[in-house]
Homo-oligomer: A and B are copies of this chain.
């Protein structure tokens, strides 16, 4: 059932009004416009502007100047492979979102307009879109963290059919520094990835738990306005993780044991995965470190040296592998600034003969890679 997903639906639904308007205007104002040749044209109306540029991961080489035609500025990308792309305009130096595009995502404090290119069923762009398949639900819940001394918010994906009473395995999915409990749902496209992988028969139905990894925050900053920060006891997020697992045990129908429990995360969330899995040997049957920060302290010392100086941590890592987890998966891009820390991790694991799997691809410390890693890791679970 391969079809060409040229985002016809997007054009029809989101831009119908604009398209009608365009008929009566001298120049096309649609944006983004998906061209037959696989390029995408971006446009912004700025009749009084002197200079308009566009940046984004759909555009090569930083700021690119846009072409002005009677106040409509446009830029056409190269042919784009399947992916979720982000971009933003600068009008006389001021940050501008695409007014023609309802799709916007926040990354920490930065907003970008986004669009998805998909060529066929199952490609990465397809995985990030909503399709007419069975959908899981997403809940934003507040759990009690006695260890941090506050109520905290987290997001929970439950797979299609969850409400029928069956128990499901659980993946704990952790964000990076600057992210929050919404990051994996928005730029991470977790609900779409899980819906589509499950519908395609490529992943088992599972619950995905997305907590907030900043121990001082009760919730995402967009929500926590006037919620006091650092109201809690200031404990360690890693140590408080059992509060999250306890909430899941008492509030959701989950399958128990390491065979049914997975943990992964990106960047700081990769560090959290590294540390939380060490603190809980035998708890997680599957671990995924995506572009992970892997060290015990802020130091230039090798991981081996750090572990030599922290024998209790070395013992925890030993216990983790003694419990024979199904998968310890390390993924990183060649240009990632944390690449060397992951080399050091692999050197140590090799030396200790601790089994792991490694995936390396192009690119750096970016959401494109984390969506790919989640899509791959989820297919290996349970």
Contacts and interface: CB of A to CB of B under 8 A. Distances in A.
Contacts of A94: 44-46, 49, 52, 89, 91, 94, 96
5 contacts: A9-B229, A13-B225, A44-B94, A102-B222, A131-B227
Contacts of A219: 130
A145 to B, nearest CB: 13
Contacts of A1: none
Leading 3 A-B pairs by shortest Cβ distance: A91-B94, A48-B92, A46-B94
Given A7-B226, A137-B139, A45 B130 contact: no
Contact of A226 (B44, B131, B139): B131
Contacts of A9: 224-229
Contact of A153 (B102, B104, B135, B139): B135
A137 B130 contact: no
Contacts of A135: 142, 151, 153
A130 B10 contact: no
Nearest to A252: B163
A140 to B, nearest CB: 5
A138 interface: yes
Contacts of A91: 49, 91-92, 94, 96
Interface string A163-175: 1000000000000
Given A14-B225, A226-B10, A229-B13, A102 B92 contact: no
B137 A137 contact: no
A188 to B, nearest CB: 15
Interface in A100-125: 102-104, 106, 109, 111, 116, 118
Given A12-B229, A134-B151, A228-B9, A50 B48 contact: yes
Nearest to A151: B135
Interface string A23-46: 000000000000000000000111
Contacts of A102: 106, 109, 221-222
B95 A97 contact: yes
A342 interface: no
Given A14-B221, A45-B94, A48-B51, 14 more contacts: A9-B224, A10-B225, A14-B109, A44-B94, A46-B92, A46-B94, A48-B50, A50-B92, A94-B96, A95-B97, A102-B222, A130-B219, A134-B151, A142-B160
A228 B12 CA distance: 10
A20 to B, nearest CB: 14
A132 interface: yes
A35 B308 CA distance: 54
Contacts of A52: 94
Contacts of A139: 137-140
A231 interface: yes
A16 to B, nearest CB: 10
Contacts of A257: none
A251 interface: yes
A13 B129 contact: no
Interface in A126-159: 129-132, 134-142, 151, 153
Nearest to A108: B102
A178 to B, nearest CB: 11
A225 B129 contact: yes
A327 to B, nearest CB: 30
